Amino acid sequence: MIHYLLLILSAVVYYLLGYETVRENFGLLIALYGINGLVYLYWLATVRDKQYVNRLLLGAVLLRAVFLFATPNLSDDVYRFIWDGKKIIRSESPYAGLPEKEYDATLYEKLNSKNYYSVYPPVNQLFFAVAGYFYNYSEQSAIISLRILLLIFEILMIILLRKMLIALKMAQWKSLIYALNPLVIVEISGNLHFEGVMLFFLLLSWWLYSKQKSFWSGISFGLAVGVKLSVLIFLPYLLWIFRKQIITFLGGFILSFTVIFGWFYLHQSEWHNFMQSIDLYFHTFEFNASVYYILRTVGESVLGYNPIKTAGTWLSIISFSVIMLIYLLSFLRHFDETGQKFNFCPLLWAYSVYLLLATTVHPWYIVNLVFLAVFCSKSWYAIFWSLMVVVSYSAYQQANVSENPLLITLEYTVVFLAFVYEYFISVRKRGVI
């Protein structure tokens, strides 16, 4: 009975988050998110029975459906999605130029990226085209169309996640780590971010490979890249794990990648525009960073200016190097492992390094960590990160974005302490070290 009552409570809280809360009201946001965060932790700590797991997975779908008629209130990215979709419907490339007010004055005023070329890969644009079509009827119709599409992919994701856990002979309750996570629900079903679609194609790639369908596994991984380029971080590790069928996997991946991104090869100027916007995430944008903010503080004190141009480059190089080292050590330790059963933890660590050394860490970036946490036994730091990252929304309490250094410090302190306890202190207590 307690689980049903908590589902009702969560549904009410998500309703308030979706329909009654604006991001400027940080106090209400953090209170509501905190309630569902505690409920989430309770479920993870107590639910082990398969019957309850299945019921809560169904409940997770219903919680996502709560947002069906809501307008995203914590992120305005959706308006760029619709903008790009409108251009596609009119047979125009979303990468060809900057947004212009004359195109749609009402929609233009809602854009947070007026001065940037579209940064969203081609598979994303297919979803946006659907929204662009329904925008001809109303803005709300466009938003609902995206919600329905994302809800479908979340349902498929939950189903496949459960199947994957069964195939790997892992505890089925771990599917709740992703399915009931407040950040996952709010950022995908509430704010309409596409991490869930990318993760579905990534998981489908793993699933297909485990079924000896390596060519289609490569196709699916290419689709994941077509949604979010960040998934390329995992490619070196997967190539090693899938090495027994690497030719067919790569064949599928190269085929899908070429088809998806082939447009750019025909229009070099649009490739330049796309990459120019990607570069902004490494050398211009900064939000909710950790290591970079420390370097920025030191740099401004010593140099007298923000060193993001140089720091962004060096942090990217260091990030790539550390990630490759993580993979190499894993290869050496698990030389004989195959794709049917392999260690997912290096992917979790690699993506954590990527985020820790990034100049920009939006809340929805942590969704990928939550997904990887499902398959890694020592992943509570990622779960706590998903609960703490919401404090970054404090930056939007005023018209001008202004981050609170104390809250960001609190966020990363909790993550760091959780990591240290999980990987060092708790291990020592068990006598392993």
Q: Is the pLDDT of residue 242 over 50?
A: yes
Domain holding 345, by residue range, is 286-433
Residue 181 inside a domain? The answer is yes
Residue 16 inside a domain? The answer is yes
Residue 277 inside a domain? The answer is no
Say if residue 337 is in the same domain as residue 400.
yes
Which CA distances in Å does 163 have to 41, 101, 206? Answer: 23, 48, 12
**Contact of 312 with 282, CB cutoff 8 Å:** yes
pLDDT confidence of residue 234: 97
Structure tokens at 362: 């939006």
Residue 383 inside a domain? The answer is yes
Say if residue 26 is in the same domain as residue 172.
yes
pLDDT confidence of residue 339: 44
Confidence of residue 340 (pLDDT cuts 50, 70, 90): very low
pLDDT confidence of residue 272: 86
CA 351 to chain centre: 11
**Residue finishing a domain among 145, 163, 191:** 191
Say if residue 310 is in the same domain as residue 239.
no
Say if residue 5 is in the same domain as residue 86.
yes
Q: What is the pLDDT of residues 36-49, one digit of tens each?
A: 999 999 999 999 99
Nearest-angstrom CA–CA distance, 34 and 386: 11
Residue 120 inside a domain? The answer is yes
Number of structural domains in the chain: 3
Say if residue 35 is in the same domain as residue 96.
yes
pLDDT confidence of residue 432: 39
Calculate the CA dihedral of residues 337, 341, 344, 347 and round it to 10 degrees.
60
Which CA distances in Å does 263 have to 93, 225, 231, 280, 428? Answer: 10, 15, 20, 22, 54
Say if residue 310 is in the same domain as residue 211.
no
Q: What is the pLDDT of residues 347-394, one digit of tens each?
A: 999 999 999 999 999 999 999 999 999 999 899 999 999 999 999 999
Say if residue 155 is in the same domain as residue 264.
no
Say if residue 322 is in the same domain as residue 428.
yes
Residues of 47-81 as b/e, b for ≥16 C-beta within 10 angstroms? Answer: beeeebbeebbebbeebbbbbeebebbbbebbbbb
Say if residue 145 is in the same domain as residue 228.
no
Left, alpha or beta for 212 (phi > 0: left; psi -120 to 50: alpha)?
left
Q: What is the pLDDT of residues 83-107, one digit of tens each?
A: 999 999 999 999 988 999 888 999 9
Say if residue 103 is in the same domain as residue 206.
no
Say if residue 292 is in the same domain as residue 422.
yes
Confidence of residue 270 (pLDDT cuts 50, 70, 90): confident
pLDDT confidence of residue 431: 45
CA 152 to chain centre: 17
pLDDT confidence of residue 433: 34
**Residue finishing a domain among 161, 191, 221:** 191
Residue 254 inside a domain? The answer is yes
Look at 184-188, 339-343, 415-419, 425-429 and tell me which has the smallest mean pLDDT.
339-343
Residues of 324-349 as b/e, b for ≥16 C-beta within 10 angstroms? Answer: eebbeebbeeeeeeebeebebbbbbb
**Residue finishing a domain among 191, 226, 249:** 191
Q: What is the pLDDT of residues 287-300, one digit of tens each?
A: 999 999 999 999 98
pLDDT confidence of residue 9: 98
Residue 141 inside a domain? The answer is yes
Say if residue 351 is in the same domain as residue 369.
yes
**Contact of 147 with 193, CB cutoff 8 Å:** no
Confidence of residue 268 (pLDDT cuts 50, 70, 90): confident
